Amino acid sequence: MNAPAPAPAVRPVVLIAEELSPATIEALGPDFEIRSCNGADRAELIPAIADVDAILVRSATKVDAEALAAAKRLKVVARAGVGLDNVDVRAATQAGVMVVNAPTSNIVSAAELAVALMLAAARHISPAHSALRGGEWKRSKYTGIELYEKTVGIVGLGRIGVLVAQRLSAFGMKVIAYDPYVQAGRAAQMGVRLVDLDTLLAESDFMSVHLPKTPETVGLIGADQLARARSSLVLVNAARGGIVDEAALYDALKTGQIAAAGLDVFASEPCTDSPLFELENVVATPHLGASTDEAQEKAGVAVARSVRLALSGELVPDAVNVQGGVIAEDVRPGIPLTEKLGRVFTSLAGEVAQQLDVEVRGEITEYDVKVLELAALKGVFADIVEEQVSYVNAPLLAAERGTEVRLVTEAESPDHRNLITLRGTLADGTQVSVSGTLVGIAQKERLVEVNGFDVDIEPTTHLAFFTYEDRPGMVGVIGGILGDAAVNIAGMQVSRQDKGGAALVALSVDSAIPAETLAEIEAAMQAASARAVDLS
């Protein structure tokens, strides 16, 4: 009689709630069930999101607390763009749902539009075009100015501000910038002189705004600031509406206090009726910063990749509600090792620690290693909770279980180039620890310490640890029982602190050790503890 065919694997479900580039679907690949809906229609969205693992949106779909409550299986919300105004990040975090976006997808497009607006305003492109379409040839009226050898002030020297500075430098412009969060040395490396805002206003012939919209930046460029500017100033805002006070800008343009403006963003959008649109010295576009084919494709592909990572439980660098931010290349190889250390720690402890220290020593402490704390927690809880553990909900799981977590860094690492240790205190005061490192050019993973015993063993799929009183014959006991159970030993190491004192045997084996076999070894050795670890 033939055995029944195995049931087909259930594929994760990804909901496409808005029109995205075909490259987005291609980047997701064949591993997912793809569904679609009109995310802007709440009556269609709420039932559609109920049983999906991920949802991809742009700006029209509101993923709020109501939608998140309806999405019982949801693990990741992906916004194919930069802004997150339509996603309730706080509610998603509370629900253990990762939120990702594509923070760099539109930076080139946005920078190029800022330059385009600057050129258009400097050369009166918009009114000259309108006049010509109306049958008027007005060459003398629309005489403009060159960018060459003029001074441009960049307000906000972030990623887009830097791209604008680079492009305008190629025009032969002198670049100054205002950004209180940038070091002068970093600006100098780019050929940019950092100044305060008043100096920037006083010296600039052109000004381009590239700041996020925050309570501190709303209205930053108002009547008082515009009054300090040169009358020849051309002001461009392709960042966020509201940073430049629109009423003050209108007055300054109307009275000739400044010369012209190029605007892509407005305090309230969509904006189709503004006094600014009546002025010939204003060129305006309807928030087109990210509106290029290339930016849309980059955004879709970026979030598709993030969804793949998120649904496979991997670290997602573009997740906005994950602590740690950008991950240094030198830190990345330690992430999977640290996650394994977390799983080994839980197997050794047999319970949740009350206090857990994630200790990082060595050269990598020059970088932000917060992500290693998240990796440790993900490993610690991976095998003890029903829900899928992610880098988003792992800290919440620790808090819910009363585990106090601390990240400890130390530049000095006497025995290893870098060393990662998980050290925890259990409810009865017992201390549990496990340490790992990466060795050689290939950065191979090694366990180098377990509960104070020095070891050197690869963290393979199947491991076992036995603590016992040092005496002859114990290695033979282990080998004999495992041989009878047809479990092959791949590697074995014995470590002891004192002759005849406590000892540890660390094993890597080719297959899982059955529970009854583990118990048999523990009894035969009179072991203080016997722990098996499955890292599959």
Q: Of the CATH numbers 3.40.50.720, 3.30.360.10, 3.40.50.880, 3.40.50.1370, which one belongs to the domain with range 107-284?
A: 3.40.50.720
Residue 36: pLDDT over 70: yes
DSSP assignments along 210-242, one per residue:
-----TTTTT-B-HHHHHTS-TT-EEEE-S-TT
Strands (E), 29-171: 33-36, 54-57, 76-79, 98-100, 151-155
Q: Which two tokens stand for residue 268?
A: 């309230």
Residue 382: pLDDT over 90: no
Question: In this prediction, what percent of the chain has a pLDDT beyond 90?
Answer: 71
Catalytic residue from among 26, 33, 149, 269: 269
pLDDT in tens, 337-378: 999 999 999 999 988 888 999 999 999 999 989 989 999 998
Domain chopping of the chain, boundaries: 13-103+295-311, 107-284, 322-457, 460-536
Does 240 qualify as catalytic in the annotation? yes
Phi, psi dihedrals of residue 82, rounded to the nearest 5°: -95, -50
Mean pLDDT, rounded, for 286-290 = 93
In a 3-state reduction of DSSP, which class is residue 131? helix
**CA separation, residue 379 to residues 112, 202, 347, 424 (Å):** 43, 55, 10, 14
What global pTM score does this model have? 0.64
pLDDT in tens, 419-475: 999 999 998 899 999 999 999 888 899 999 999 999 999 999 999 999 999 989 999
CATH topology of domain 322-457: 60s Ribosomal Protein L30; Chain: A; (3.30.1330)
Mean pLDDT, rounded, for 119-142 = 95
Does 269 qualify as catalytic in the annotation? yes
Q: Judge if 322-457 and 460-536 fold alike in CATH terms.
A: no
Catalytic residue from among 58, 79, 210, 287: 287
CA 499 to chain centre: 49
Residue 531: pLDDT over 90: yes
Confidence grade of residue 2 (pLDDT, cut at 50, 70, 90): low
Query: Can you tell me the distance from the alpha carbon of 367 to that of 270, in angstroms, rounded to the nearest whole number?
Result: 42
Q: Which positions ≥6 away from 10 have C-beta within 8 Å?
A: none
Mean pLDDT, rounded, for 85-107 = 86
CATH topology of domain 13-103+295-311: Rossmann fold (3.40.50)
At 16 the pLDDT is 96
Catalytic residue from among 79, 210, 240, 361: 240
Hey, what's the torsion of the CAs at 98, 104, 109, 115, to 10 degrees? 130
Does 294 qualify as catalytic in the annotation? no
Q: Which two tokens stand for residue 10?
A: 């259930």
24: buried, middle or exposed (CB in 10 Å: 19+, 13-18, 0-12)?
A: buried
Query: Can you tell me the distance from the alpha carbon of 101 to that of 476, in angstroms, rounded to the nearest whole number?
Result: 56
Q: Which positions ≥6 away from 297 have C-beta within 8 Å?
A: 21, 23, 24
Confidence grade of residue 8 (pLDDT, cut at 50, 70, 90): low
CATH code at 460-536:
3.30.70.260
Residue 1: pLDDT over 60: no
Q: Which positions ≥6 away from 85 have C-beta within 8 Å?
A: 59
Query: Can you tell me the distance from the alpha carbon of 216 to that of 200, in angstroms, rounded to the nearest whole number?
Result: 18
Residues found in the chain: 536
Beta bridge partners of 509: 462, 489
